[in-house]
Structure 1
Amino acid sequence: MNVVFYQITKPLNIALLKAVIDEKLQELPFTNCSTQEAQRLGFVCAVPGTADETSTDEPWHLDLPNALVVRIKEQQKKVSKRAHAKEVERRANLVMEEQGRRVNKKERQDIKDQVMLEMLPRTYPEDRYFAITITSHWVAVPVTGYSAAESLLSFIREALGTFPVIPVRVMNSPEVVMTSWINNGAGPDDDVTLFGTMTLADPADDGVRISCRDIEPFGDEVRAHLEAGRRVTSVGVMIENLFGAVISSDLIFKNFQLAEFLQEELEHTKTDTTAAEYAAWHIIMADAMDQAVQCLPRWFGSDQEVALPAVMTQAQRNEFMQKLSKAMAEDAE
């Protein structure tokens, strides 16, 4: 999955938020789009698979150590752009044939709006779910860009009344820093491995990018691009026994995945309910995302005087991993 991180400007009292958040979310439950709506958002129960996903008898947030997860459901009708444009053109040509003139800009926009209103009721809606992790100091939104993230965060803000968040800020240019990693022949930390999914761009050629897959990050081919003046705009990073992702210059983590051994332990862990399995996955994922957030100021510099507190203490992390290892051993027997 992709992850966009935001920093909370005024630390949240997570314990207090957990006590009141269900009631607030239930004031904005999901309902289906009306015939003339193109999109609708709404909150649903925290755990997937609930028969009635807006039941007030179920929890509306997932309770994690020092964090919580809420789910937003989006329903969207994606009208075919090609079909829409074809119908608009047909009606504009009809005006030309009947009245002997071209439609002006305002008339064309009116035609576009009318065609959209007629096509929306005939368009089948698509549903998507977003599980958003909230801690006292940061928020993780599983989307591909800031525009989509802002839409979901604004909806949370509408429910809570206030939600002071900004994109995570760093002091140094990520492009310059990531390029220095390649030039220096090493990742930012001893436990970080760079892998060959990367993008390079020449600052002088705006918009021209070179995408590479399965390439040696410190090899001659990449070095030739750097010697030609190109910079690294995204690169794959893997933190040992934690997670792997492709980090881009806008600080979005793409294809964020837990380390293989964590995935294996989660897959082999027996739990009593789907809710418990879902919670276990999010606990580990929240810890991995927390480590990712901690990496950003360390790698790219920060203007923050105080480091963000960890979601899980080392003791909590060790306890949880012991439980996973024990469950995996029992399953093997």
Structure 2
Amino acid sequence: MWFKNLRLYRLTEEWTHTPEQLNEALEAHCFNPCGSLDPLRYGFIEPLGRHGSEFIHVTNGYIMICAKKQEKILPAAVVNEHLEEKALAISEAESRSVGRKEKQTLKDEIIFSLMPKAFAKSSLDFAYIAPQEKLIVVNSSSAKRAEDLLSKLREALGSLRCIPISAKNIPTQVMTHWVQTGKLTNDFELGEECELHASKDERVIRCKKQDLTADEMLSHLNSGMFVSKLAVTWKESIHCVLDDQLAVKRLKFDDVISEKANERNPESKAEQFDADFAIMSGELKNFITALLAAFGGETDPV
């Protein structure tokens, strides 16, 4: 359950839904598996999975939710192989070529016939709502996946006014300055990984397990390149990679943090989930505050 990515969204109005109201709203938009002809299904499930019965899990005022996505896997190569066979059969039987429009119709028919036999792949999207901080934190490396979850939440609630958090200072400029000077603020330290982009062309340099203060790195920056991704550590306990949209990726908590949850001696999966969530959300509250401060604060929501 420990988040591995963070996408941050600011609620632009007060959160007025009680936990009971939210639970009912999510239950009304719960996940149902794909039928034989459904290419995709998306809906809410219990964050605790089979160990829970509620569509939310509340700890210290934070509200965890989870959405499940199931989609049919139908490889393009399989569809194209069937299409070529069918087009060839028609061409030989009727002594004519099969046009583009007819091929598209044949393709649609093939997909329709193969869909019931396709395998279904499932994935989970977790997020938590922090009403007191007017914040939604989504565990996703993909902006689209995060927006999908928020769109479904908006559908369930009827309205959800939130926007992606953006910093006052441009992230690429801040991260470039950090690498150039080696001086970071708010208890952040440089990691050993970054990605550089050129301003005037499409050059990209990816550095891993390297001293980011080395002369070679400074040479690239002095030539006009800028930092678009940067590995950092906060208070020697949270490690991650920041990108040019202020998304947090490959988030990793030090063992000292995760062990705090075990100190509560949880006796069940539900208690373990609750302990993990409590510790994680508490640490992330301070981390997010420091992160936004390090980038000059947050732009005012329009």
TM-score surpassing 0.5?
A: yes
2:8 maps to 5
CA distance in 1, matches of 2:153, 2:178: 37
Corresponding residue SS for 2:229: strand
CA displacement at 1:264 relative to structure 2: 2.9
Aligned to 2:155: 158
Output the CA distance in 1 between the equivalents of 2:86 and 2:148: 34
In the alignment, the residues of structure 2 paired with residue 187 and residue 96 of structure 1 have an alpha-carbon distance, to the nearest angstrom, of: 68
Match for residue 126 of structure 1?
121
Cα distance in structure 1, aligned partners of 2:46 and 2:178: 43
Cα distance in 2, alignment partners of residues 149 and 129 from structure 1: 11
Is 2:288 the partner of 1:293? yes
More displaced 10-residue stretch of structure 1: 145-154 or 238-247: 238-247
What does residue range 173-188 of structure 1 map to in structure 2 within 5 Å?
173-188=170-185
Q: Is the 8 A contact 1:241 1:260 kept in 2?
A: no
Could you list the structure 1 runs, at least 4 aligned residues long, displaced by more than 6 angstroms after superposition. none
The aligned counterpart of 1:60 is 55
Whether the aligned pair in 2 keeps the contact of 1:4 and 1:146 (CA below 8 Å) is yes
> How far apart are 1:297 and its partner, in Å?
3.1
Match of residue 170 from structure 1: 167
2:256 and 2:114 map into 1 onto residues whose CA distance is 48
CA distance in 2: counterparts of 1:265 and 1:88, whole angstroms: 57
| Distance in 2 (alpha carbons) for counterparts of 1:212 and 1:95 | 54
Shift of residue 64, structure 1, vs aligned partner: 1.6
Asked if 2 retains the 8 angstrom alpha-carbon contact of 1:241 and 1:262, the reply is no
Unaligned runs of 5+ in 2: none
- Contact kept, 8 Å, 2:258 with 2:279, in 1: the verdict is no
Question: Are 1:193 and 2:203 an aligned pair?
Answer: no
Q: Contact 2:266 / 2:275 at 8 angstroms: preserved in 1?
A: no
Deviation at 1:110, TM superposition (A): 2.4
Question: Post-superposition shift, 1:140?
Answer: 1.3
Per-residue deviation at 1:108? 3.3
What amino acid does structure 1 have at the position aligned with 2:34? C
Structure 1 residues 89, 68: CA separation in 2 closer, same or farther (over 3 Å shift)?
Answer: same
- Structure 1 gap ranges (5+): 306-333
1:8-28 CA distances to partner (integer Å, 9 max, x unpaired)?
A: 111313xx4313111111111
**1:1-333 equivalent positions in 2, closer than 5 A:** 1-13=4-16, 16-50=17-51, 58-97=53-92, 98-104=94-100, 106-136=101-131, 137-189=134-186, 191-206=187-202, 208-240=203-235, 242-267=237-262, 269-301=264-296, 302-304=298-300
Which deviates further from its counterpart, 19-28 or 76-85? 76-85
Aligned residues: 294
Higher RCO (CA-CA < 8 Å; seq separation 6+): 2
The 1:227/1:275 distance shift into structure 2, 3 A limit, reads same
Aligned-partner residue type, residue 273 of structure 1: S
Residue 119 of structure 1 and its aligned partner are, at CA, apart by 2.3
**What is the CA–CA distance in structure 2 between the aligned matches of 1:88 and 1:203, rounded to whole Å?**
45
- Amino acid in the other structure paired with 1:3: L
The two structures, once aligned, show a CA RMSD in angstroms of 2.1
Aligned mates of 1:241, 1:261 — CA distance in 2? 10
In the alignment, is the contact (CA less than 8 A) between 1:92 and 1:103 conserved in 2? no
> 1:44 corresponds to which letter in structure 2?
I
Identity of aligned residues (%): 23
Indicate conservation of the 8 Å contact 2:262/2:275, yes or no.
no
Label 1:118 to 1:197 Cα distance change in 2 as closer, same or farther (>3 A). farther
Equivalent AA in structure 1 for residue 279 of structure 2 = I
State which drifts further: 2-11 or 289-298: 289-298
Question: What TM-score comes out, normalization by structure 2 length?
Answer: 0.89
Amino acid corresponding to residue 280 of structure 2 in structure 1: M
Compared CA separation, residues 90 and 220, structure 1 to 2 (3 A): farther
The 1:109/1:290 distance shift into structure 2, 3 A limit, reads farther
Q: Distance in 2 between matches of 1:187 and 1:287?
A: 23
CA distance in 2, matches of 1:108, 1:222: 53
Task: Measure how far apart 1:174 and its partner are.
Answer: 0.9
Give me the whole-angstrom Cα distance separating, in 2, the residues matched to 1:285 and 1:68. Answer: 13
CA deviation map 1:44-89 (0-9, x unaligned): 2231333xx7xxxx22211121210011111121221322233334
State the Cα distance separating 1:124 from its structure 2 match: 1.4
Structure with greater strand percent: 2
